[in-house]
Amino acid sequence: MLNHSNNTCSNLQYPFNANSAFLDSAATDNYGNEQTPLLNKRSMRNAALIHLTNGSTMIPTQKGTLPNMPDISSKHKTCQICPNNNGPALLSIGQLCDDNCLAVCDKKKCIIYKNKPIIRAQRCPISGMYVTDLHNLLLKPTKVSMLHANLQQFTSIERLKFLHGTLDFPPLSTLRRAIAAGYLLSFPDMTEKNISKFPTQDITVLGHMDQKRKNIQSTKPKTDEDEWTLTLNTHCPTKTNDFFHKVLNLNNTIYTNQTGKFHVRSIRGYQYVLVTYSYDANAILLRPLRSKRGAELLETIKEVYSYLSEQEYNPKHQFLDNEASTALKSHLKASLETFQLVPPHLHQKNTAE
């Protein structure tokens, strides 16, 4: 009977993938799953039953050779494939030590030596396991992507502002929860320590507040009357039973807004995105923009109109950003019944935002 720990990742999250592997001191052999990148896979007959610590069992159906381990003998880098193993591969520390390796572990990492470091694993903050990559056993830094390389020329605060914007400027409390859950591990500089020094951006505040009330900083002398009583006495000196209401018809209505400038220009020259929300279709349409100038924006909006018409949605009313060119306004007057510019800094009025 074989015993190994019940370290499946059914309750684990990102960043595990098919190349991930746990260094496991409780596993008596190396175990993988059908996605583990093994070499020389072959079938197994009459395989021994594997007993897990929770009482369940697994039966290996194939075996193969672990890649990128030239210093380990073939016997000790053989890996059994268990189809019902839903977690990362398990590398047996016992098997490595039987091949004259030395395992040195602390609270952050585990390194396997055989005259030199051959495997390095980082401690996962979620599972508590030591995790390595079968295609990069020493966890050497890989070449950064073009976007991250471009961001290196900016300061830490500038990079944080850009990454904050790509997430649609959420409150810092939301960022902290996302960081703690491990959702932003691929974002450079997006750490709890850096966030604590990061100032709240104005656009975050403006996107999570109601329209400012008037007379907040009034120079008029205050009275003893509360605000509600003062409002009634000012606007409704005589009490009545009259009330007023207005029904807004949103049929054939669209909302448009342009994003801010992206730091990296696409290979086709695009650096902005036009966001369109169609109320009737309940659809969000995205179109790339090279610039936000009148001619470019006008042609893209015409393309959106044409697409909606093909789908039998004919917009008659449009809400758009208050920064609209004269050419765009002239076109809207000619092609629509009405259009409305939203007030500046009032994001709630434009659904596309």
- 328 and 263 housed in the same domain: yes
The two structure tokens encoding residue 34 = 């059908």
**pLDDT at position 167:** 82
Q: Of 75, 101, 133, which residue constitutes the final position of a domain?
A: 133
Asked if omega into 344 is within 30° of 0 (cis), the reply is no
**pLDDT at position 150:** 57
- 120 and 163 housed in the same domain: no
- 15 and 127 housed in the same domain: yes
- 86 and 10 housed in the same domain: yes
Indicate the range of 125-134, 184-193, 234-243, 328-337 predicted with least confidence. Answer: 234-243
Q: Is position 192 within any domain? A: yes
Q: Residue range 221-246: average pLDDT?
A: 60
Instruction: Tell me which residue of 145, 50, 134 sits closest to 88, measured CA to CA.
Output: 134
Could you list the residue range(s) of the whole structural domain that residue 299 is in?
A: 253-349
- 76 and 29 housed in the same domain: yes
Q: pLDDT above 70 covers what percent of the chain? A: 78
- 39 and 61 housed in the same domain: yes
- 24 and 115 housed in the same domain: yes
**pLDDT at position 55:** 80
Helices (H), 134-181: 146-151, 156-166, 172-180
**pLDDT at position 93:** 94
What is the total count of domains within the chain?
A: 3
The two structure tokens encoding residue 263 = 């730091």
- 179 and 261 housed in the same domain: no
Q: Give the CATH number of the domain where residue 300 resides.
A: 3.30.420.10
- 11 and 127 housed in the same domain: yes
CA distance to 25, 128, 203, 221, 309, per residue, from 217 (Å): 67, 54, 22, 11, 49
**pLDDT at position 12:** 37
Cα dihedral sign, 164-166-171-175: negative
The yes-or-no verdict on residue 98 having pLDDT over 80 is: yes
Q: CB within 8 A of 35, min separation 6: which ones?
A: 18
Burial class (CB in 10 A: 0-12, 13-18, 19+), 214: exposed
Q: Is position 93 within any domain? A: yes
**pLDDT at position 187:** 79
161 band by pLDDT with thresholds 50, 70 and 90: confident
- 122 and 159 housed in the same domain: no
Q: Is position 240 within any domain? A: no
Helix-, strand-, coil-residue percentages of the chain, each rounded to 5: 25, 25, 55
- 119 and 171 housed in the same domain: no
Instruction: Tell me which residue of 208, 210, 200 sits closest to 164, measured CA to CA.
Output: 200
Q: What is the pLDDT of residues 29-63, one digit of tens each?
A: 999 988 899 999 999 888 888 888 778 888 899 99
Q: Residue range 78-92: average pLDDT?
A: 89
Angle at 146 between CA 143 and CA 150, to 5 degrees: 110
Q: Residue range 234-258: average pLDDT?
A: 74
Q: CB within 8 A of 339, min separation 6: which ones?
A: 317, 318, 319, 320, 329, 332, 333
**pLDDT at position 180:** 82
**pLDDT at position 9:** 38
Q: Is position 315 within any domain? A: yes
**pLDDT at position 175:** 85
- 26 and 117 housed in the same domain: yes
The yes-or-no verdict on residue 239 having pLDDT over 90 is: no
Q: Is position 215 within any domain? A: no
**pLDDT at position 94:** 93
Indicate the range of 76-90, 108-122, 164-178 predicted with least confidence. Answer: 164-178
Cβ neighbours, 10 Å, residue 339:
20
Q: Give the CATH number of the domain where residue 31 resides.
A: 2.40.70
Q: Is position 39 within any domain? A: yes
Task: In whole angstroms, give the CA distance from residue 350 to residue 334.
Answer: 22
Q: Is position 234 within any domain? A: no
The yes-or-no verdict on residue 91 having pLDDT over 80 is: yes
CA distance to 25, 105, 253, per residue, from 117 (Å): 18, 13, 64
Q: Is position 247 within any domain? A: no
